[in-house]
């Protein structure tokens, strides 16, 4: 039995992870972290009896503390670092949302623990530094993102030198065929055609920033030059991604839209767990593929450009800017198309060298987020 810690256990991926853990006795859940959802955390504590529980800075956990005397309670950013440094842990699932996941990912790898990564920000913001930490300790980062899990499965036991390209599929989001981006409200963007996910990633899917982030993620996970990473629109999202080899053969992974499949694979690979989420290809009929529109969705180009000079902080800038812009859009304070404008402005304005120190990178992220708040308040909301 291996000891596992799930960071971000009350989010969408976190809950799916715990569901998978409840189906196997290969793992003992020894730690969880949550931000504010005490009700869900309480259910999880009752069910799994973890030894360590880390709560968000603003969560009031006095009742939890009184009730569970044997649990070690941790708090906030510092608590997450402590939770990422548990001696008896064997493997971590990092399902934190946003740049909060950055330092934990780095800490886990530095401590030579296995990392199953759902937090794509870790690689988008600090891909080079995170990859170095993994390489130093001879660790591979196990992807949980559905596309990257697909690629990982397609690459298994195959010679990476024979790969001619990685094909990331994208549903295209709810606005793929919409004529203009005018008058889009947050609630429209939150209606994803195929996947049910957290709010931030759903908005990122509608702008295709999510796919942009996944290009960056793929670059670091599979150590492949960005020129070899391609994006294709595939609205059914049945093929989760594919790999093309030098002889022209394409190997793809097809599955239902359920994150429990990539999560279970990350935990059992190369073995597989019996799961009930099957697809019936005869019911699906036809699959469609088309080229993405780089003009309508400039987020893709920004992602590729950010990889041209890996010593620069452009992934960091994209990510920090997007986090704030999406926050403002969700509050209906800015227009949908403003997200693109803000990203493009920040990209030029905040370009700098990337630090090799994860704490400095984290600080820089916070600094840029503040700058973006200023920029939006000043130029985008009648200030
Ligand atoms: Mn994905």
Query: In whole angstroms, how large is the CA radius of gyration of the chain?
Result: 20
Can you give the residue ranges of every domain in the chain? 2-139, 145-305, 311-383
C-alpha distances in Å from residue 66, one per residue of 33, 36, 41, 62, 83: 18, 18, 15, 6, 20
For residue 98, report the distance from its CA to the centre of ligand 1, in Å.
14
What does the buried/exposed string (b/e) look like for 71-90 if buried means 16 or more CB atoms within 10 Å of the residue's CB? beebbbeebbbebbebeebe
For residue 204, report the distance from its CA to the centre of ligand 1, in Å.
10
Residues 6+ apart with CB under 8 A from 161: none
Pairwise CA distance, residues 298 & 300, whole Å? 5
Residues 6+ apart with CB under 8 A from 227: none
Contact call for residues 120 and 147 (beta carbons, < 8 A) = no
pLDDT of residue 382: 67
In this prediction, residue 233 has a pLDDT band, given cuts at 50, 70 and 90, of very high
Q: How many CB atoms lie within 10 A of CB 69?
A: 6
pLDDT of residue 326: 96
Q: How many CB atoms lie within 10 A of CB 267?
A: 23
pLDDT of residue 343: 98
C-alpha distances in Å from residue 363, one per residue of 114, 116, 248: 26, 24, 45
pLDDT of residue 319: 96
Contact call for residues 167 and 150 (beta carbons, < 8 A) = no
For residue 205, report the distance from its CA to the centre of ligand 1, in Å.
9
For residue 15, report the distance from its CA to the centre of ligand 1, in Å.
17
Question: Judging by DSSP bridges, how do beta strands 229-233 and 163-170 pair with one another?
Answer: parallel
pLDDT digit string, tens, across residues 92-151: 999 998 889 999 999 999 999 999 999 999 999 999 999 999 999 999 999 999 999 999
CATH superfamily of this structure's domain 2-139: NAD(P)-binding Rossmann-like Domain (3.40.50.720)
Pairwise CA distance, residues 383 & 54, whole Å? 38
In this prediction, residue 195 has a pLDDT band, given cuts at 50, 70 and 90, of confident
Is the per-residue pLDDT at 197 higher than 90?
no
Contact call for residues 109 and 115 (beta carbons, < 8 A) = yes
pLDDT of residue 193: 73
What does the buried/exposed string (b/e) look like for 179-215 if buried means 16 or more CB atoms within 10 Å of the residue's CB? eebeebebeebeebebbebbebbbbbbbbbbbbbbbb
Question: Judging by DSSP bridges, how do beta strands 72-75 and 27-33 pair with one another?
Answer: unpaired
pLDDT of residue 37: 96
For residue 284, report the distance from its CA to the centre of ligand 1, in Å.
21
Question: Judging by DSSP bridges, how do beta strands 229-233 and 72-75 pair with one another?
Answer: unpaired
The residues placing their C-beta within 5 Å of ligand 1, an ion, are 145-147
pLDDT digit string, tens, across residues 313-358: 999 999 999 999 999 999 999 999 999 999 999 999 999 999 999 9
For residue 214, report the distance from its CA to the centre of ligand 1, in Å.
7
For residue 124, report the distance from its CA to the centre of ligand 1, in Å.
13
Indicate the fold that domain 311-383 takes in CATH: Rna Polymerase Sigma Factor; Chain: A (1.10.1740)
For residue 199, report the distance from its CA to the centre of ligand 1, in Å.
14
For residue 144, report the distance from its CA to the centre of ligand 1, in Å.
9
For residue 241, report the distance from its CA to the centre of ligand 1, in Å.
10
For residue 233, report the distance from its CA to the centre of ligand 1, in Å.
13
For residue 358, report the distance from its CA to the centre of ligand 1, in Å.
24
For residue 122, report the distance from its CA to the centre of ligand 1, in Å.
14
pTM of the full predicted structure? 0.95
Percent of the chain with pLDDT over 70: 99
For residue 213, report the distance from its CA to the centre of ligand 1, in Å.
9
Is the per-residue pLDDT at 383 higher than 60?
no
For residue 333, report the distance from its CA to the centre of ligand 1, in Å.
27
């Amino acid at each position: 039995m291996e000891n596992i810690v799930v960071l971000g256990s009350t989010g969408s991926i976190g809950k799916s992870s715990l569901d998978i853990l409840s189906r196997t006795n290969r793992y003992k859940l020894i730690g969880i972290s949550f931000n504010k959802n005490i009700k869900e955390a309480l259910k999880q504590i009752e069910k799994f009896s973890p030894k360590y529980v880390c709560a968000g800075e603003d969560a009031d956990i006095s009742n939890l503390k009184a009730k569970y005397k044997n649990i070690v309670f941790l708090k906030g950013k510092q608590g997450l670092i402590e939770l990422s440094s548990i001696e008896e842990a064997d493997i971590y699932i990092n399902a934190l949302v946003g740049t909060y996941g950055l330092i934990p990912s780095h800490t886990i790898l530095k401590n030579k623990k296995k990392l199953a990564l759902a937090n794509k920000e870790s690689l988008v913001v600090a891909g080079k530094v995170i990859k170095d930490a993994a390489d130093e300790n001879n660790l591979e980062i196990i992807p949980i993102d559905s596309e990257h899990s697909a690629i990982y499965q397609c690459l298994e036991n195959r010679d990476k030198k024979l790969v001619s390209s990685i094909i990331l599929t994208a549903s295209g989001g709810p606005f793929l065929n919409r004529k203009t981006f005018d008058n889009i409200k947050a609630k429209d963007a939150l209606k994803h055609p195929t996947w049910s996910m957290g709010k931030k990633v759903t908005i990122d899917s509608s702008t295709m920033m999510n796919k942009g982030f996944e290009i960056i993620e793929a670059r670091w996970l599979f150590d492949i030059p960005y020129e070899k990473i391609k994006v294709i629109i595939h609205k059914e999202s049945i093929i989760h991604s594919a790999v093309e080899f030098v002889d022209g053969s394409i190997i793809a992974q097809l599955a239902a839209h359920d994150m429990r499949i990539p999560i279970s694979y990350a935990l059992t690979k190369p073995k597989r767990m019996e799961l009930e989420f099957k697809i019936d290809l005869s019911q699906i009929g036809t699959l469609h593929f088309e080229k993405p529109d780089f003009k309508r969705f400039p987020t893709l180009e920004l992602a590729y450009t950010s990889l041209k000079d890996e010593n620069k902080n452009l992934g960091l800038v994209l990510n920090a800017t997007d986090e704030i812009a999406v926050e403002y859009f969700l509050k209906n304070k800015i227009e949908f198309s403003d997200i693109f404008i803000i990203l493009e402005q920040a990209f030029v304005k905040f370009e700098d060298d990337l630090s090799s120190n994860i704490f400095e990178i984290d600080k820089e992220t916070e600094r840029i987020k503040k700058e973006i708040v200023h920029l939006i308040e000043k130029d985008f909301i009648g200030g």
